[in-house]
């Protein structure tokens, strides 16, 4: 059993995110799903990104750190898209981290610390033709993470969708989403 903090994407804490958390819980894991947007939920990525533009990425990172203050330190940090930012930051900087699951996003390790921490495994998942993940530098950052440490895995799925594992969205890809969940559960079992 692992204890996981799962951070949501730019649409907010949606049924797709809580449903994914429920899948992990059914497998026996303890999962927290902090609401980084304080109750705001959006029906388009554009609206979510506009809200994010108002509060700022720094605020999202701060809210992520505050969300885990009273939680155990030996956590796996997971995040979808913008939620991968606080997940990656905490995995790199909070002592006791057990792992990182970064879905649809990855930033250069140097954003949060000089190097990836020893003993903290990671998985990065994204679609190979996603214009955000593959086109805005996340894929390059993920490849650099894998190259710099023997503790990281990169999983690329064929397609161009960003939110491909969220069952509640039109962008959902059933085969890729199922494989992402399977790989996540295997990571958590290790």
pLDDT in tens, 133-160: 999 999 999 999 999 999 999 999 999 9
Share of the chain above pLDDT 70, in %: 100
Residue 75 CB: number of other CB atoms within 10 A? 23
Closest CA to 4 of 61, 83, 63, 115: 83
124: pLDDT confidence band, cut at 50, 70 and 90?
very high
Region 71-100: what's the mean pLDDT?
97
Closest CA to 74 of 124, 8, 119, 25: 119
Q: Find the distance separating the first CA and the last CA of the chain, reported in whole Å.
A: 9
Share of the chain above pLDDT 90, in %: 98
Query: Which pLDDT value is given to residue 102?
Result: 98
| Cα 33 from Cα 35, distance rounded (Å) | 6
Region 112-129: what's the mean pLDDT?
96
Query: Which pLDDT value is given to residue 18?
Result: 98
11: pLDDT confidence band, cut at 50, 70 and 90?
very high
Q: What is the pTM of this model?
A: 0.97
Query: Which pLDDT value is given to residue 147?
Result: 96
| Cα 19 from Cα 70, distance rounded (Å) | 24
28: pLDDT confidence band, cut at 50, 70 and 90?
very high
Return the SS3 of 160: coil
Query: Which pLDDT value is given to residue 136?
Result: 95
**In 2-20, which positions are buried (b, 16+ CB within 10 angstroms) versus exposed (e)?**
bbbbbbbbbbbbbebbeeb
Domains and CATH numbers, the chain: 3-189 (3.40.50.1820)
Q: What is the DSSP letter of 99?
A: E
Query: Which pLDDT value is given to residue 78?
Result: 98
Higher pLDDT, 90 or 190: 90
Question: Got the DSSP string for 73-96?
Answer: SS-EEEEEGGGHHHHHHHHHHSTT
């Amino acid at each position: 059993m692992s204890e996981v903090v799962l951070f949501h994407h730019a649409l907010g804490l949606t049924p797709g995110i809580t449903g994914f958390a429920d899948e992990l819980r059914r497998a026996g894991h303890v999962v927290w799903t902090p609401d980084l947007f304080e109750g705001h939920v959006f029906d388009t990525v554009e609206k979510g990104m506009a809200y994010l533009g108002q509060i700022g990425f720094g605020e999202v990172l701060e809210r992520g750190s505050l969300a885990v203050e009273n939680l155990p330190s030996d956590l796996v940090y997971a995040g979808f898209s913008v939620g991968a930012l606080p997940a990656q930051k905490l995995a790199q900087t909070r002592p006791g981290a057990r792992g990182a699951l970064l879905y649809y996003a990855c930033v250069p390790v140097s954003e949060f610390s000089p190097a990836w921490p020893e003993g903290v495994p990671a998985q990065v998942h994204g679609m190979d033709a996603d214009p955000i993940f593959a086109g805005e530098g996340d894929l390059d950052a993920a490849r650099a993470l894998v190259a710099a440490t023997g503790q990281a895995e990169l999983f690329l799925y064929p397609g161009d969708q960003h939110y491909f594992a969220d069952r509640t969205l039109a962008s959902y890809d059933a085969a890729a989403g199922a494989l992402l969940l399977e790989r996540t559960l295997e990571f958590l079992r290790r």
